[in-house]
A = this chain, B = another copy of it.
Amino acid sequence: MTLSIHQRIPARTGAAFHVKRHQRIRVIDVSGEQVADFTAFYAPNTEERLDPLVTIDVLGHIQPKIGDALYSNQYRPMLTFIRDDVGRHDLLYPACRPEMYKLLYDKGDAHPNCYDNLNQAIQPFGIAPLTQHHSFNVFMNVQQTAQGALQVVRPLSKAGDQLEMRAEMDLIIAISACPTLESPCNGYHCTDIVIEIE
């Protein structure tokens, strides 16, 4: 099958794409240890969008696996996991944003961030900026104790590892190659992400 799209998303930037129902999306970690903040909208009505907490509600689990779907705020399956080289992603952390860098790292507003990357990426698709992005964080590795304490650690993804998902409806998807250098989130180095859609 011919690749419809093969696009490299440079480190610390974002991009968005149209995806047709039943197309496959591959999120590829080019160099390893790189998180990709991912969100999706139902193309005909973008008020329906990927919802990590609905996904957790339906799955009864915080870690989706092959065969599981990511769900929308309207409790419909949007994307089904087809192939997963890593098996460790995150549904809990919001997209990093200026206020986060300010509070947690005392960094100014100029820090690149997934929130602005995602909002900029969706703008050409006619989607107004959201006041928050609750993203699905591909390759993000969060350790959790049975008591509920969380710790972000280095991703398990190695160069070339990928997550492949099948679109269950017509979508607009947006991805940000996470720009965090201040935590183990991206292994202390920010690198490129490749998106393939076919």
On A, residues with C-beta under 8 Å from B are 47-49, 51-54, 56-58, 60-63, 73-76, 92-94, 97, 99-100, 102-104, 131-132, 134, 144-151
Residue of chain B at shortest CB distance from A48: B131
B58 touches A103 (CB 8 A): yes
In the complex, 25 of the A-B residue pairs with CB atoms within 8 angstroms, ordered by the A residue number, are A47-B131, A49-B131, A51-B132, A53-B53, A53-B92, A53-B93, A53-B94, A54-B132, A56-B92, A56-B93, A57-B92, A57-B93, A60-B149, A61-B149, A61-B150, A62-B148, A63-B148, A73-B131, A73-B132, A75-B99, A75-B103, A75-B104, A76-B99, A144-B148, A146-B146
Q: Count this chain's copies in the assembly.
A: 2
List 6 additional contacts besides A61-B148, A62-B148; criterion CB under 8 Å: A53-B94, A54-B100, A54-B132, A60-B149, A74-B99, A75-B97
Dominant secondary structure of chain A at its interface with chain B: loop
B100 touches A75 (CB 8 A): yes
B94 touches A151 (CB 8 A): no
A54 interface neighbour in B52, B76, B94, Cβ under 8 Å: B94
B94 touches A51 (CB 8 A): yes
Chain B residue contacts of A51, Cβ below 8 A: 94, 132
Chain B residue contacts of A48, Cβ below 8 A: 131
A134 interface neighbour in B53, B93, B97, B146, Cβ under 8 Å: B53
Q: How many angstroms from the CA of A61 to the CA of B184 in the assembled complex? A: 18
Chain B residue contacts of A63, Cβ below 8 A: 147-148
